[in-house]
Structure 1
């Protein structure tokens, strides 16, 4: 997969990998136990992490060209639910991933977009965080499909450097 960015217009030009397909997320079908590590404060040079457990359920939909993920946790005594909606575009061969959660109850207006290559999925978008323009990456490492990993990072310098601020390690329940 190739990523280029028009710095003046802040437009990402994301090219799919040669192997990108609607089957890229098949490894994630089912139910998973999730161990989370999340930075307490993002883009503040923090090195303090909070850890918590969650559960993730994923199923394919739209004749295999989409999938739905439900994410459940109880962090700091508060129930939290998130949902990822992933859609594969047959023409562009790219995935778009939309996120909704019980904190904001609105769907991402800027989904991450990308594809997998050799078991590693990279998905990007431009966004705003605390009034700063950022580049976001969601990364799925499915090189060990029985213990996949997800991580998220922000960049304030167009991807030259990244702050990895959320990491998840998954173990299959069923």
Structure 2
């Protein structure tokens, strides 16, 4: 898939690239708001499925060494031309507040929201990039009280 095809595909079809089975290499900060807390690395795997002609996507990600799984529901809203990304995990069973955003023409997706981490309000950013038929990258970043973004979790996807 060329970069132009990737851009057109993500802008028009959202998360269709994520359908199927993926290996996921994770790198995340030990403390999500402390950039000096050190990084831990671990592997996972995910399986995704499309619905509604590609306007909805659900996946489950399993982290065998961490003892929990996550579930993401991604929904396209045609009236706003935005996606909402909704996350839950097996430890809490709670649906976290969604992040919302869209795909740019360069094939990068950026999604923003507000959440609470360790009792503190945080701005949240998810960024999808480096998308091809066999790879993708997801990054999460938090910002406190108008401060700078701290990238705290990176997932590198490779097609299973």
Place the TM-score, normalised by the shorter chain, in its bin.
Answer: 0.7 to 0.9
Post-superposition offset of 1:21: 5.0
User: Is the 1:20–1:115 Cα contact (8 Å) retained in structure 2?
Assistant: no
Q: Structure 1 stretch 88-97 or stretch 63-72: which is displaced more?
A: 63-72
- Secondary structure of the 2:14 match is coil
Cα pair 1:21 1:93 within 8 Å, conserved: no
**Runs of 4+ deviating beyond 6 Å:** none
Counterparts of 2:135 and 2:57, CA distance in 1: 19
Query: Any unmatched runs of 5+ in structure 2?
Result: 1-8
Q: CA deviation at 1:65?
A: 1.5
- From the superposition, tell whether residues 58 and 22 of structure 1 become closer, same or farther in structure 2 (CA, over 3 Å): farther
Specify the alignment match of 1:91 in structure 2. 79
Aligned counterpart for 1:146 among listed residues 116, 123, 134: 134
Q: Is residue 22–residue 65 contact of structure 1 (8 Å, CA) maintained in 2?
A: no
Measured in 2, the distance between the counterparts of 1:45 and 1:81 equals 25
Residues 81-120 of structure 1: per-residue CA shift (max 9 Å, x gap): 1110000001111000111111111112x20000111111
Q: What TM-score does the superposition give when structure 2 sets the normalisation length?
A: 0.86
